[in-house]
Structure formats: structure tokens, C-alpha cells
Amino acid sequence: MSESAETPALPKVRIATTSLAGCFGCHMSFLDIDERILDLMKIAEFDRSPITDIKHCSPCDIALIEGGVCNAENAHVLREMRANAKILVAIGACAINGGLPAMRNRLDVGDILNEVYRDLDGVQSHVPNDPELPLLFDKVYPVNEVVRVDYFIPGCPPSADAIWKYLNDLILGRMPRLDHSLLHYD
């Protein structure tokens, strides 16, 4: 019996991904699902993502957000993805609590820029002010302090198996859950 003859093909699950103030480690870990991506591509397709190089997000089912929000561009991208995604998932330590970039949060951003670009021995230049550069925020914000977040996958990065399990649960409509072996913050 040919299933395809009777069941019309389901529309593909549309997944958007982005790396904000992250290191792309979560995306690399996502790609570590290796050949399982072929199974994923049978039922899903990518919207905006470094994988497709599509620059703007259109309506999609799942948005995976790596990294916290450290500048104005991050906030624009995140809001666009929130506006378009049915389910928004914060993935990785930086998206969840700002991560290592947020260790600058107790310092004044102006002091940091002056220290790094102007005052450091051997640098003695000026703080870059090209209008193309996105404005740095005073702090690095976790994603859930900027938009509503539906789910969180912790880890630095979460393992490919953790991402795979979570994504499967979401796509198949199960309550997403990571057991002890897949739940890590480091």
C-alpha cells in the first residue's frame, strides 16, 4: 500500500535559526546531529538561518535562538523571529542567562570600549563609530528578558543528542524533556 497516494504530504515544518551574541557553538552542535539532518530534511525545511543564508525571517513553526542580546541588531533580529515563529526556543547558555558575554554586565560599557580601543597599551586608537556597526547595549540580556520564550535547551553547547531529542519532541507534539544524561549547563 502506498501511503503517499492516500495521505497528502504534510507541509514541511519550517525552522528558523540565528546566532545573536553567541559563538556559533550551538549551531555547530546542531550540525553534529550529522546524517540525522537528512531525516530532518524529509519533514522540515530551513527559513532564515546561517545554513540557508536567508537574511529575514518569514512565518515559521520553530525558531532556535542562540546567544544573548548584546546590541541593537540582536534585538531587531530577535523581535523579527518572535513575530514570525509559532514556537521560539532559546538554545544554549548565552541565550538563557547571557552566558560568558554577560560577564561584562557589571562593568560600564563606555569604560570597556575605551579600555579596549582607546587606552590599552599598543592600541591607542579610538572607539569605532561607523554607522554600520550596531549599537552596543549597556548589558548583555538573556533572550527571555527581551521577548517571550516558549522553550529552553540549556548547555554550552547542548549536545547534538539533546538538540535532536528536543526538536523531535517539539515536532512530534510531545512534551519536550531532557533526562539527566542530556541535561547539562556546561
Partner 1 sequence: MSGTETAIVVDEIPVPFKPGQTILEAALEAGVYIPHLCAHPEFAPHGSCKLCTVIVNGRNASACTLKAAAGQEIEVDTPDLHAYRRTLVQMLFVEGNHFCPGCEKSGNCQLQALAYDSEMMTPHFVEFYPHRPVDASHPDVLIDFNRCIQCELCVRASRDVDGKSIFALVGRGMASHIVVNSPSGKLGDTNFSVADKAAHVCPVGAILIKRVGYAVPIGERRYDLEAISEEASRCAGEEVR
Q: Contact residues for partner 1 (CB under 8 A)? A: 90, 93, 96-100, 102-103, 105-106, 139, 142, 144-145, 149, 151-154, 156, 177-178, 180, 183-186
How far apart are CB 106 and partner 1 at their closest, in Å?
4
Integer-rounded Cα Rg, in Å, for the chain is 19
Q: Which is nearer to partner 1, 56 or 185 (CB)?
A: 185
Q: Which is nearer to partner 1, 100 or 113 (CB)?
A: 100
Q: Which is nearer to partner 1, 132 or 186 (CB)?
A: 186
C-alpha distances (whole Å) from 6 to each of 3, 20, 39 are 5, 43, 22
Q: List % helix, strand, coil for the chain (3-state, nearest 5).
A: 35, 20, 40
Q: Which is nearer to partner 1, 112 or 185 (CB)?
A: 185
For residue 165, list its beta bridge partners: none
Q: Is the peptide bond before 154 cis (omega within 30 degrees of 0)?
A: no
